[in-house]
Structure 1
Amino acid sequence: MAKVYVGLGTNLGDKEQNLRDAVQKIEEQIGKVISLSAFYVTAPWGFASENSFLNAAACVETELSPLAVLQETQAIERELGRTKKSVDGVYSDRLIDIDLLLYEDLVLSVTSPSGAELNLPHPLMTERDFVMLPLAEIEPELVHPVLGKTMKEISSGMKKRLD
């Protein structure tokens, strides 16, 4: 069993229910959710929107490969109503976003048969407080496989925005 860490976000509709639905589908399609952070209210990152986000992080035990986890998270997003992905750093409001952050201590860059790129660890995770604060909450001593710092160390300077 591999430990996989995912980031969850939503800024449309019933945000809390969107996150709960995503966690339930992750349990059904990827593996057992062994830890789930609190839900964090955050401002949009990388684009302007009147809608705040609700974010969380989860640790999942899975038998799936990294690419299979990516394919399942994208399938879950579609099942929950997400119709388009962010492309080339252009972000927009979304019903659900599930980012594969870490897969054990794997460092990987690969393109799936469907053309989706998978980069592990997630290349922008350490720049995003809405990723790092929930992740540090559930796994403070987890070490980033490239930076060699714990999630707690990386997130220590970030502003906490809890509802």
Structure 2
Amino acid sequence: MAKVYVGLGTNLGDKEQNLKVAVQKIEEQIGKVVSLSAFYITAPWGFTSENSFLNAAACVETELSPLDVLQKTQSIERELGRTKKSVNGAYSDRLIDIDLLLYEDLILSAVTPSGAELNLPHPLMAERDFVMKPLAEIAPELVHPVLGKTMRELISSFSPQ
């Protein structure tokens, strides 16, 4: 069993329900959700919107490969109504976003047969407090495989809000 950490976010519709359904679908399609953070209200990152986000992080035990996890998370996003992905840093409002943050301590750059890119660990995770706060809540001693710092150490670099 591999431990996979995912980040979840939504800023449209019934946000709390969106996250709860996404977690339920992850449990059904990917593996056992062994920990789930609190839900955090955050400002949009990388674009302007009147809609705040609700973010969370989860740890999932899975027997799936990293690429299979990515394909499942993208399938869940589509199932929950997400029709387009962010491309080249152009972000927009979304019903659900599920990012694969870490898969064990794997460092990987790959492309799925459908053309989706997977980079592990997630290349922007340590820059995003909306990812790091929930992740540090559920896995404070987890070490980032590239940066060599714990999630607690990484979150301490953010200024208080």
Question: Does the Cα contact within 8 Å between 1:12 and 1:94 map onto a contact in 2?
Answer: yes
Aligned partner letter, 2:22: A
Aligned partner letter, 2:68: A
Structure-1 residue corresponding to 2:82: 82
Structure-2 residue corresponding to 1:142: 142
SS at match of 1:21: helix
Q: Residue 156 of structure 1: CA displacement?
A: 1.1
Structure-2-length-normalised TM-score:
0.98
Q: Residue 49 of structure 1: CA displacement?
A: 0.2
Structure-1 residue corresponding to 2:98: 98
The CA deviation string for residues 48-94 of structure 1, in whole angstroms up to 9 with x for no partner, is 00000000000000000000000000000000000000000000000
| Structure 2: distance between partners of 1:158 and 1:137 | 14
How many residues align? The count is 161
| Structure 2: distance between partners of 1:18 and 1:119 | 25
Q: Residue 160 of structure 1: CA displacement?
A: 5.8
SS at match of 1:148: coil
Structure-1 residue corresponding to 2:114: 114
Aligned partner letter, 1:81: G
Aligned partner letter, 2:66: P
In the alignment, structure 2 segments of 5+ residues that lack a partner are none
Structure-1 residue corresponding to 2:151: 151
SS at match of 1:57: strand
Question: Does the Cα contact within 8 Å between 1:133 and 1:160 map onto a contact in 2?
Answer: no
Are 1:124 and 2:117 counterparts? Answer: no
Aligned partner letter, 1:25: K
| Structure 2: distance between partners of 1:28 and 1:159 | 37
SS at match of 1:35: strand
Distance 1:160-1:78 versus aligned 2 partners, 3 A rule: farther
Aligned partner letter, 1:77: E
In the alignment, structure 1 segments of 5+ residues that lack a partner are none
Distance 1:87-1:150 versus aligned 2 partners, 3 A rule: same
Question: Does the Cα contact within 8 Å between 1:129 and 1:159 map onto a contact in 2?
Answer: no
Q: Residue 159 of structure 1: CA displacement?
A: 4.6
SS at match of 2:89: coil
| Structure 2: distance between partners of 1:159 and 1:83 | 34
SS at match of 2:126: helix
Q: Residue 17 of structure 1: CA displacement?
A: 0.2
Are 1:18 and 2:18 counterparts? Answer: yes
The CA deviation string for residues 105-153 of structure 1, in whole angstroms up to 9 with x for no partner, is 0000001100000000000000000000000000000000000000000
Aligned partner letter, 2:52: S
Structure-1 residue corresponding to 2:45: 45
Structure-1-length-normalised TM-score:
0.97
